Amino acid sequence: MACREAVEESQGTARKDKLKQLEPGTMVRVQHHLTMRWDLIGTITEVKPRGPSYRVRSEAARLCWRNRKFIMKYFLSDEDKDDNLMSTAETLVMDPSRASGIVASQIFSSLEPTTPG
């Protein structure tokens, strides 16, 4: 084993970084197995005890097992963050009892219209 690692290192084929373990509930992007595009978005629902396999529930509510190398953590874009902020604000308007004082003040201050100067 050590001999193989030494050969890989000398050839430059050794894997320099290990992929981090992802937890259930993490939003991820999944590489499509035919198009090779990272266009599927889902949530990890289960992790196999052995091996780097994850069960992912897609936005279309489909379940699939994918290897870790075909999954990457999903980060919200600025547009998605704005949409999420708006949906949170709409929820608070409908049910203000769910808001904590700090969160509500931050959301409502960002939604106040600005007056032209």
| Average pLDDT of the chain, as a whole number | 74
State residue 102's pLDDT score: 46
Residue 48 lies in a domain: yes
Q: Name the residue with higher pLDDT: 76 or 72.
A: 72
Q: Name the residue with higher pLDDT: 62 or 106.
A: 62
Q: Please state the domain count of the chain.
A: 2
* Same-domain pairing of 105 and 87: yes
pTM of the model: 0.52
* Same-domain pairing of 63 and 31: yes
End-to-end CA distance of the chain: 70
* Same-domain pairing of 64 and 82: no
What value does the mean pLDDT take over residues 34-46? Answer: 93
Question: Cα torsion at 87, 88, 91, 96 (round to 10°)?
Answer: -160
Contact 19, 1 (CB under 8 A): no
CATH of the domain at 69: 2.30.30.30
Q: Name the residue with higher pLDDT: 63 or 79.
A: 63
Q: With cut-offs at 50, 70 and 90, classify the pLDDT of residue 29.
A: very high
Residue 7 lies in a domain: no
Question: Cα torsion at 32, 35, 36, 38 (round to 10°)?
Answer: -50
Structural domain range at position 97: 78-111
Contact 72, 38 (CB under 8 A): yes
* Same-domain pairing of 59 and 82: no
* Same-domain pairing of 24 and 52: yes
Residue 24 lies in a domain: yes
